[in-house]
Amino acid sequence: MKHSFMRAIVVLFTVLVLAVVVVQAGTTYSTWTGQYKVGETVAFKVEGSGGGWWSCCQCNTCNESQVLGWHIANSSGQTIYSVIHDAPVFSSSWQGSWSQIDANGAAVAAGSYTLYVDTSVGTLTRFVKLYDPCNSCTWGWGWSCNTCQETATITSNCYCRTTLVLQKETTTCGWPFWWPCCTSNCP
C-alpha cells in the first residue's frame, strides 16, 4: 500500500513537470518561429548582452546599442512599411510593433515578410510569417526552421552581442483540458 501511494505521487509529480515543460515549450516555439496570425500585432525588441569572463582581457563593458529605425519587406524584398527615428533610441528603452499594414495603411496579406532593424552596430533581420488560421492549416507538431540569410544576432568587438527578439502576446489556454491550445476567432 505504501509503495502504491509513492508511485502515485511520483506519477503525479512527473505529469505536473511535463505539463509545465510543454506549456513553456509551446510559448517558446511560437515566439522563436516568428509566426503570427493575420491581424495580430507583431511586437519586437533589441536585446544586448556581452562581455563575460572570456573578454576580460580585451575590454570592460559593452556600449548599449541604439535603434535608428526599422522596416518590413515582403517576400520580393520590396519595403512595404518603414519607421525612421528622428534621433537614435537606446535599445533598452525601445520596443517596436507592426500592426500588419503597409505604407498606405492597408492590411497586408498572409505570407512571409522580413523585419529589418537598423542599430548602431548594424542591421538585424528576422523572418515573420503571417498566417490565416481560417484558411490555412498550420500544425505545430513539426519543427520548421528557416534561418537562412537571417541576422538575428550581431557580435561586435569584445564579444558584445546585440540580438533582435520577436515577442508574442501571451494567451490563456485551458491547459491541460484543451490541448493543444489552437483557438482562433474564425466566424
DSSP 21-46: HHHHHHHHHHHHHTEEETT--EEEEE
Residue length of the chain: 187
pTM of the model: 0.60
Determine the pLDDT at residue 105: 95
Q: Which of 82, 80, 124, 86 is nearest to 106 (CA)?
A: 80
Q: Which of 106, 145, 151 is nearest to 129 (CA)?
A: 145
Determine the pLDDT at residue 53: 55
Cα 104 from Cα 68, distance rounded (Å): 22
As given in the structure block, the three cell numbers for residue 172 are 490563456
**Positions in the chain whose pLDDT score sits under 70:** 1-3, 5-6, 8, 10-33, 51-60, 134-149, 169-187
Determine the pLDDT at residue 20: 46
Q: Is 162 exposed, middle or buried (0-12, 13-18, 19+ CB in 10 A)?
A: buried
Determine the pLDDT at residue 57: 57
Determine the pLDDT at residue 49: 79
Determine the pLDDT at residue 15: 58
What is each CA distance from 154 to 17, 64, 171, in whole angstroms? Answer: 35, 13, 31
CATH fold, domain 34-167, is Immunoglobulin-like (2.60.40)
Determine the pLDDT at residue 176: 53
Determine the pLDDT at residue 27: 39
Determine the pLDDT at residue 87: 95
- Domain range annotation of the chain: 34-167
